[in-house]
């Protein structure tokens, strides 16, 4: 790499970006199709599967594109997909987020059984951490995992689980003795029950998953007993920054909508784009997007080298970019006036899609809390 290339994506990532943009463009017309259904939009699933892009979410040994799942690649892809369809972006991302613990800690048999199918989108992944009463304070969870002979028995209720009902397996976090363990539970096991008590404002396929004394072989434990939190952290370290990519793609798309509207709307003898605070508002949005992108690409490249060692950068990119997307989409709606509020319009969808990003995969406040602890721990004063 030359100095001139320092702030540009390498060619291989640019090619990947182009591939993801092409897929996004081909499915953009279906962006709103997930609004009133509980499951995947079949055409979007088929399009993502045919593209081969889901292979980015698993290691090369199991049909993936990179030796290890690559944070920069996931981030670049999500940026491109989220600009077209949040449903598509979520479908792509969850294959990695839901299966990462298998890649990191699964037995050879589990890896061989599931990862190639995850990468081809033949098996859909889910990660089940949250419970009806437990979100950020995950260590207070109540799901249990008990050994019974050569089986594990999983009992508990997981809530707000992305891909619930579509997933072929869930990586479930529960208490095992004094520690926390992740265990792979195939969705077709007896005792796995999916319900849909909540509908959310964005594109997520979401549900609750109850595990009623579900039995799986002991070999379905991911890593050692008690190592579950470590694998959750490793998942975040690889994928948290990709949420930042997603929010940048979404914000940029919102800005395009606002710019097109402001340029074409004539009022007070000129265009909206030249009126009052509108030009400055548009320029600020552009500036904020570029600032977020610079931090995010840097953080994602650092995470691709050393995910855990650079988690602070991924966390900063996540909060900076998702908060930015909240501000930018809000500003874009404001610029578009009543047209920004029309149900089913692109800008209204993007406005809703931006909001949950500040809550999942580490809410802004929880991330700020852990960043401040790290900062103060390292501070000499």
130 binds ligand FAD (CB under 6 A): yes
Q: Identify any residues that bridge with 155 across adjacent strands, giving them in sequence order.
A: 144
209 touches 170 (CB < 8 A): yes
Which residue, 207 or 223, has its beta carbon nearer to ligand FAD? 207
Where b means 16+ CB within 10 Å and e means fewer, 194-204 reads beeeeeeebbb
Which residue, 92 or 160, has its beta carbon nearer to ligand FAD? 160
303 touches 313 (CB < 8 A): yes
Q: Of 9, 200, 233, 275, which one interacts with ligand FAD (CB under 6 A)?
A: 200
Where b means 16+ CB within 10 Å and e means fewer, 123-157 reads bbbbbbbbbeebbeeeeebebbbeeeeeebbbbbb
Q: Of 68, 136, 144, 155, which one interacts with ligand FAD (CB under 6 A)?
A: 136
Nearest approach, Cβ of residue 136 and ligand FAD (Å): 3
193 touches 232 (CB < 8 A): no
Span from 17-25, 33-41, 311-319, 352-360 in contact with ligand FAD (CB under 6 A)? 352-360
Span from 41-49, 127-135, 145-153, 316-324 in contact with ligand FAD (CB under 6 A)? 127-135
User: Kind and range of the H or E element at 42?
Assistant: helix 42-51
Dig out the tokens for 316 from the structure: 């900063």
Span from 145-153, 157-165, 236-244, 310-318 in contact with ligand FAD (CB under 6 A)? 157-165
Helix axes 71-84, 86-105, angle to 10 degrees: 160
Span from 122-130, 236-244, 261-269, 297-305 in contact with ligand FAD (CB under 6 A)? 122-130
256 binds ligand FAD (CB under 6 A): no
Unique residue bearing structure tokens 């991302």: 93
Nearest approach, Cβ of residue 81 and ligand FAD (Å): 16
Residue numbers at the binding site for ligand FAD (CB under 6 A)? 127-130, 135-136, 160-162, 200, 202, 204, 206, 356, 359-360, 363, 365-366, 369
């Amino acid at each position: 790499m030359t100095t001139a290339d320092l702030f540009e994506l390498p060619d291989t990532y640019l090619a990947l970006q182009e591939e993801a943009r092409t897929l996004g463009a081909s499915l953009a017309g279906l962006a709103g199709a997930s609004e009133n259904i509980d499951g995947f939009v079949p055409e979007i699933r088929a399009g993502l599967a045919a593209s081969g892009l889901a292979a980015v979410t698993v290691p090369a040994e199991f049909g993936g594109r990179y030796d290890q799942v690559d944070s920069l690649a996931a981030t670049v892809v999500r940026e491109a997909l989220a600009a077209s369809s949040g449903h598509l972006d979520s479908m792509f991302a969850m294959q990695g987020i839901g299966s990462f613990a298998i890649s990191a800690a699964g037995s050879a048999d589990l890896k061989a059984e599931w990862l190639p199918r995850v990468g081809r989108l033949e098996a859909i992944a889910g990660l089940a951490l949250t419970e009806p009463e437990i979100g950020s304070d995950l260590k207070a969870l109540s799901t249990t995992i008990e050994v019974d002979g050569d089986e594990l028995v999983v009992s508990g209720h997981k809530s707000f689980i992305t891909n619930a009902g579509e997933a072929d397996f869930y990586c479930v976090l529960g208490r095992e003795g004094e520690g926390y363990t992740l265990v792979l539970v195939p969705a077709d096991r007896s005792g796995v029950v999916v319900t849909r008590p909540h509908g959310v404002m964005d594109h997520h396929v979401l549900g609750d998953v109850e595990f009623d004394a579900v039995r799986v072989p002991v070999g379905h434990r991911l890593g050692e007993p008690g190592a579950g939190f470590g694998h959750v952290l490793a998942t975040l370290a690889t994928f948290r920054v990709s949420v930042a990519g997603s929010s940048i793609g979404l914000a940029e798309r919102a800005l395009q909508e606002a710019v097109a509207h402001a340029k074409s709307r004539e009022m007070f003898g000129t265009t909206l784009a030249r009126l009052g605070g509108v030009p400055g508002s548009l320029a600020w949005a552009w500036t904020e997007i570029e600032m977020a992108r610079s931090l995010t690409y840097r953080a994602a490249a650092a995470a691709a080298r050393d995910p855990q060692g650079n988690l602070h950068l991924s966390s900063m990119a996540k909060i900076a970019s998702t908060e930015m997307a909240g501000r930018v989409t809000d500003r874009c709606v404001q610029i578009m006036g009543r047209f920004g509020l029309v149900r089913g319009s692109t800008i209204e969808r993007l406005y809703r899609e931006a909001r949950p990003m500040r809550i999942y995969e580490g809410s802004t406040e929880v991330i700020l809390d852990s960043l401040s602890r790290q900062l103060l721990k390292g501070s000499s004063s």
